[in-house]
Structure 1
Amino acid sequence: MSPAWSSRLLALALPLFAWSSSVVAGPPTSARDQVWEAEKAFARSMAKRDLAAFGRFIADDALFFSGTTAVHGKAAVVQEWSAFFQGESAPFSWEPDQVEVLQSGTLAVSTGPVRDPNGKVVARFNSVWRLEAPGTWRVIIDKGSPPSPGPQVGESGAD
């Protein structure tokens, strides 16, 4: 094969390689999708009984509410929640049904139902997430509320 043809083939192959790489990697994930996935992984830490993984989703300066009591700081939150990680099965589970991100892309809120071990909705979680590094979101504020309906069909929410 002549050097001219080799150059032409290379010129054709490089864009195809770049295109195929982007297809495999997929488009950049939106901030909303990142928070949605972070919330689901946060919930899985409870299901898997992994307190260390749970702690990785919490900001150092977090504020969590336990009823009407405010718990300040990651260490105190992890200590408070460690009781929920005792035993073989989780005392509750949660999943997002709505995630909204500020236009700045640095803060987000996630909310969704909290279920008892039988699947009954017993509360609703409300978490504020902060972008701490590219692709790294951590909960800075978390507060439960009484059960209420989630987003209705056609509203922003569950995928």
Structure 2
Amino acid sequence: MRTPFLLALLMVVSGCASQSAPRGTALDLDALTRDVAAAETAFAKSMADRDIEAFSGFIADDAIFQPGPDSLRGKPAILAAWGKYFEGAQAPFSWRPETVVVLEGGQLAQTKGPVFDPAGTPILEFRSTWRRDPDGRWKVVFDDGTCLCGRDTPPGN
């Protein structure tokens, strides 16, 4: 009777146990979805607050941001490229999550929603993939945006 317990304990201690819920227990996907939405909202707030240090805290060390045909690989490259967006008193854009989904295992999630110019006009749609760290914090691992050009936007705007 003690053998399964000792085996399970050994797996946890050795790091072999999954970070998802144990078999037979259900993850609260609604709570995880709320957590991811809150993380994305706080991530966006860091831009509005002009706080690149807070912004940095939401990015995984191995993240990839795709601002176009070239990829920004790793947190240092992302922060170097995004530093210009934190200059000045007003943020050059803002965003908010409208769709949040979490995988059944509770380790990955995706957010997407509109990106707005300073006047509040939607200009892009962002899509971010989040990974839950062992400590429960969510970090962005992939991020990209799609231009809304041509979608109900007059030419030249």
Query: What TM-score results when the alignment is normalised by the length of structure 1?
Result: 0.73
CA contact (8 A) 2:29 2:104 kept: no
Query: AA paired with 1:132?
Result: D
What runs of 5+ residues in structure 1 fail to find an aligned partner? 1-26, 150-159
Instruction: Quote how far apart the aligned CAs of 1:133 are.
Output: 2.5
Query: AA paired with 1:98?
Result: T
Instruction: Quote how far apart the aligned CAs of 1:147 are.
Output: 2.6
Query: AA paired with 1:84?
Result: Y
- Detail structure 1 runs of 4+ shifted over 3 Å in the superposition: none
CA RMSD of aligned residues (A): 1.9
Residue by residue over 1:81-134, the C-alpha shift from the partner in whole angstroms, topping out at 9 and shown as x without a partner, is 001000000000000000000001000000000000000000000000000124
Separation of aligned partners in 2, 1:110 and 1:77? 19
Query: What TM-score results when the alignment is normalised by the length of structure 2?
Result: 0.74
CA contact (8 A) 1:55 1:78 kept: yes
Query: How many residues are matched?
Result: 123
Name the structure 2 match of 1:64: 65
CA contact (8 A) 1:99 1:109 kept: yes
Name the structure 2 match of 1:75: 76
Instruction: Quote how far apart the aligned CAs of 1:30 are.
Output: 1.1
- Identity among equivalent positions (%) equals 44
1:74-153 equivalences in 2 (<5 Å): 74-147=75-148
Name the structure 1 match of 2:55: 54
Separation of aligned partners in 1, 2:30 and 2:127? 23
Name the structure 2 match of 1:34: 35
Separation of aligned partners in 2, 1:105 and 1:87? 38
CA contact (8 A) 2:52 2:86 kept: yes
Separation of aligned partners in 2, 1:133 and 1:115? 33
Separation of aligned partners in 2, 1:93 and 1:31? 23
CA contact (8 A) 1:84 1:91 kept: yes
Residue by residue over 1:28-64, the C-alpha shift from the partner in whole angstroms, topping out at 9 and shown as x without a partner, is 9711011000000000000000000000000000000
Separation of aligned partners in 2, 1:29 and 1:135? 15
Q: Secondary structure at the match of 1:69?
A: coil
CA contact (8 A) 2:115 2:124 kept: yes
Separation of aligned partners in 2, 1:147 and 1:111? 13
Q: Secondary structure at the match of 1:91?
A: coil
Separation of aligned partners in 1, 2:78 and 2:32? 25
